[in-house]
């Protein structure tokens, strides 16, 4: 109880810190007006891609909260900065009403990461469903990452039920793995992140679950808590190393209160 309480306060402190210093940018995919977009409440951007392109500028020190209204946001987004100077948060209106996807179907988006961000101070993702892509959420070389109340589905796999429910033969599973119904992705790939907080997330019918690589440090704790993984083709929670030589990997990460059901590889792989 004490650990969960402290983790909750830690998450709230992090959100408050960014909210008090960040500019809110509104995005509404349902708008069809002919106005010039500026991200205000009256003139929101119509696509997340346009908002990200306009505001996440290499070298900028301005923090943003991208507030997504209910709707579907289709576009693979990839931003690679040269230095860690900027922080931002993508916040939906709930995982049952806000959907972010690389393509309109898995076939259309399977070879692209839905959200890829490299070299940022802080990246936050909350209250949405991410689907139809290679990896759903791929932050890399980021100082702090917060991911909360996000659902990941149909990432790295089209989610064919009888290839995810463990009813197939070895030959059927091998054929599915080699087909265009899969790509080498999954729910998340969180890579070289100094501090990670992941809370109340879920992944189902993906190729991989939560893949966390070379993340964490000796001075601060990272947590993966109260998350659920269901029917993934590889491991549910994977704390990975880049070189497999013992010189790198994850450190000081606590995984607690999580459930993994019907993963084809390990439920928890460290």
Q: Which comes out higher in pLDDT, residue 4 or 269? A: 269
d(CA 144, CA 50): 24
* b/e per residue 130-158 (b: at least 16 CB within 10 A): bbbbbbbbbbbbbebbbbbbbbbbbbbbb
| DSSP state string for 219-247 | SS-EEEES-EEES-SS-SEEEE-SSSSSS
Tell me what pLDDT residue 21 has.
83
Predicted pLDDT of residue 206: 98
29-65 pLDDT, tens per residue? Answer: 999 888 899 999 999 999 999 999 999 999 999 999 9
Q: What is the pLDDT of residue 161?
A: 97
Q: Does residue 121 carry a pLDDT above 60?
A: yes
pLDDT band at 18 (very low <50, low <70, confident <90, very high): confident
pTM: 0.93
Assign residue 53 a region (left: φ > 0; alpha: ψ between -120 and 50; beta: otherwise).
Answer: alpha
Percent above pLDDT 70 for the chain: 93
Extract the tokens encoding 14.
């992090």
Please give the mean pLDDT across all residues of the chain. Answer: 93
Which 3 state secondary structure label does DSSP give 158? coil
Of 119, 60, 124, 123, whose CA–CA distance to 84 is shortest?
Answer: 119
Res. 1 pLDDT band, cuts 50 70 90: very low
For residue 19, what pLDDT is reported?
63
pLDDT over 80 (residue 11): no
Q: Which two tokens stand for residue 94?
A: 């709930």
Q: Measure the CA–CA gap between 85 and 123, rounded to whole angstroms.
A: 11
The stretch 91-117 carries a mean pLDDT of 98
- The yes-or-no verdict on residue 4 having pLDDT over 90 is no
- Report d(CA 261, CA 270) in Å as an integer: 17
Helices marked H in the chain: 2-21, 48-55, 106-109, 161-164, 170-178
Model confidence pLDDT, tens digit, residues 61-75: 999 999 999 999 999
Q: How far is it, in rounded angstroms, from Cα 113 to Cα 19?
A: 27
Residue 20 predicted with pLDDT over 70:
no
**pLDDT (tens digit per residue) in 180-221:** 999 999 999 999 999 999 999 999 999 999 999 999 999 999
Distance separating alpha carbons of residues 263 and 178, to the nearest angstrom: 18
Residue 31, C-beta contacts closer than 8 angstroms, at least 6 positions apart: 44, 46
Is the pLDDT confidence value at 5 over 70?
A: no
* Tokens read off for 225: 């808590």
Sequence-ordered list of residues with C-beta below 8 angstroms from that of 117, at least 6 positions apart, any chain: 78, 79, 80, 123, 138, 139, 140, 142
Q: Which residue has the tokens 């040269």?
A: 82
Max Cα–Cα distance, the chain, nearest Å: 56
């Amino acid at each position: 109880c004490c650990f969960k309480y402290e983790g909750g306060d830690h998450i709230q402190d992090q959100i408050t810190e960014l909210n008090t210093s960040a500019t809110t940018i509104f995005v509404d995919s349902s708008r069809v007006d002919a106005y010039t977009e500026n991200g205000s409440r009256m003139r929101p951007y119509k696509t997340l891609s346009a908002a990200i392109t306009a505001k996440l500028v290499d070298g900028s020190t301005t923090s943003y909260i991208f507030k997504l209204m209910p709707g579907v946001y289709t576009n693979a987004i990839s931003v690679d900065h040269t230095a860690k100077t900027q922080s931002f948060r993508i916040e939906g209106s709930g995982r049952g009403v806000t959907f972010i996807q690389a393509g309109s179907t898995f076939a259309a988006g399977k070879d692209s990461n839905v959200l890829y961000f490299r070299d940022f101070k802080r990246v936050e993702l909350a209250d949405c469903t991410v689907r139809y892509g290679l990896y759903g959420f791929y932050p890399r070389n980021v100082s702090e990452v917060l991911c909360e109340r996000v659902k990941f589905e149909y990432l790295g796999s089209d989610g064919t039920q009888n290839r995810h429910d463990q009813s197939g033969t070895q030959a059927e599973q091998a054929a599915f793995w080699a087909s265009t119904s899969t790509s080498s992705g999954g729910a998340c790939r969180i890579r070289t992140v100094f501090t990670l907080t992941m809370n109340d997330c879920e992944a189902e019918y993906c190729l991989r679950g939560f893949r966390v690589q070379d993340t964490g440090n000796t001075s601060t704790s990272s947590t993966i808590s109260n998350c659920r993984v269901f029917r993934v083709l590889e491991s549910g929670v994977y704390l990975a190393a880049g070189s497999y030589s013992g010189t790198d990997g994850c450190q000081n990460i606590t995984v607690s209160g999580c459930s993994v059901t019907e993963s084809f590889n390990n439920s928890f792989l460290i």
